Amino acid sequence: MDRIVVRGGTPLNGVIPIAGAKNACLALMPATLLSEEPLTLTNAPRLSDIRTMTELLESLGVEASSLQDGKVISLSSHDLTSHVADYEIVRKMRASNLVLGPLLTRFHHAVVSLPGGCAIGARPMDIHIHALEALGAEIELKDGYLHARAPGGLKGADMTLRFASVGATENTLMAAVLAKGTTVIRNAAREPEIVDLAQCLRKMGAQIDGEGSDTITIQGVDRLHGATHPVVPDRIEMGTYMLAPAIAGGSVELLGGRIDLLTSFCEKLDAAEIDVSETARGLKVTRRNGRVDAVDVVTEVFPGFPTDLQAQMMALLATAKGVSVLEERIFENRFMHAPELVRMGADIEVHGGTATVTGVTRLKGAPVMATDLRASVSLILAGLGAEGETVVNRVYHLDRGYERVEEKLGACGAMIERVSE
């Protein structure tokens, strides 16, 4: 099993290219199911989750090909052979459930495993189900699978999502583009990934208005055609690499970076004494002087502070001047990285959904264990600024969301390497 070894204490200087957004690409790929004509995605990230989605689509009969070293994905759904999303693939990745809406609206039936075998109430699949039922779907849970039918096709509806779920908004948006009549999604998610999906669907012939706001209106059409679409830059990868020079020192330019994708996050960096400036090619990030200042963070749905950057931000604040309070409002059990940072000398107390971080002068390298994707990279970031050597074990999580992280950081001077056992 691979592990990442980081030797801290080296300031970073250089350029890091930002890949296409994993979460955007995972929603764009199932959109191929809405048309017989090819869908081509450019600026695609080269990640294990993308390979998993490709495997799932191919199991349905989609023809998929990877070009330009994986940065271009070509998909064609002209001759599907199955409408069943099997548990053995779906269990690997929650975003697999995004085939439900497209299959149901185009073919009027779909059988999709619950992701990871979780109960509906424990994770927000119930929001997906209620939204599709509002469009006229009949959905039954049997043996861990959602059996969905729409014998007469889906019909437009005016609905309000219980929670502004990104996945439920995406599933409903794709289902509504081929439904009869008008659909209004209220309390819709506003994330850039939603905007990117809507823009792609519009290129395919969909009639959509209001993406990026909390109310999206869709006028159903009879059919969609093919399109070519660039995947929006990955704001979570961007935020992660913005924190690298903030922790290690130095100055890094992020190619393709955009402040509008992370406004709340950039405001927190400014408060912590981190400079973020726009360049002709993206963004430049520089730590001002010495230790950063403590700031409080509350994770919220977009445009608030992203939950997917909370772990990385904690790594920064572990050595800040003063006391920071991080409140997690999106996901439960998202402080599993805190005990690993404590192993490196951090002073962190967790009570329920709140973590109090008292900054120390410097962390010290230690063997640590990655518990999930964002925890993995937060420990690598912490290692960049720590004294001595940090060994991050179980980094298979890392490859789900970051392409070639050791190469990108190493190109800026980081002492980092991947070691295979």
What's the pLDDT tens digit per position in 255-292? 999 999 999 999 999 999 999 999 999 999 998 878 99
CATH number at residue 322: 3.65.10.10
On whether both 51 and 171 belong to a single domain, the answer is: yes
On whether both 128 and 266 belong to a single domain, the answer is: no
On whether both 220 and 248 belong to a single domain, the answer is: no
Picking from 230, 247, 274, the residue at the C-terminal end of a domain is 230
On whether both 62 and 90 belong to a single domain, the answer is: yes
Residue 124 pLDDT level (bands cut at 50, 70, 90): low
Examine the residue annotation and report whether 118 is marked as an active-site residue of this protein.
yes
202 annotated ligand-binding residue: no
23 annotated ligand-binding residue: yes
On whether both 57 and 27 belong to a single domain, the answer is: yes
Q: What are the C-alpha distances in Å from 317 to residues 95, 246, 365?
A: 31, 10, 16
| pLDDT tens-digit series, residues 394-403 | 888 888 889 8
Q: Residue 39 belongs to what domain range?
A: 22-230
Picking from 173, 208, 230, the residue at the C-terminal end of a domain is 230
18 annotated ligand-binding residue: no
321 annotated ligand-binding residue: no
Domain count of the fold of the chain: 2
On whether both 324 and 218 belong to a single domain, the answer is: no
171 annotated ligand-binding residue: no
Picking from 214, 230, 246, the residue at the C-terminal end of a domain is 230
Q: Considering the entire predicted model, what is its pTM?
A: 0.90
On whether both 152 and 177 belong to a single domain, the answer is: yes
* Catalytic option among 25, 118, 266, 412: 118
On whether both 29 and 87 belong to a single domain, the answer is: yes
| pLDDT tens-digit series, residues 343-402 | 999 999 999 999 999 999 999 999 999 888 888 999 999 999 999 999 999 888 888 889
On whether both 388 and 286 belong to a single domain, the answer is: yes
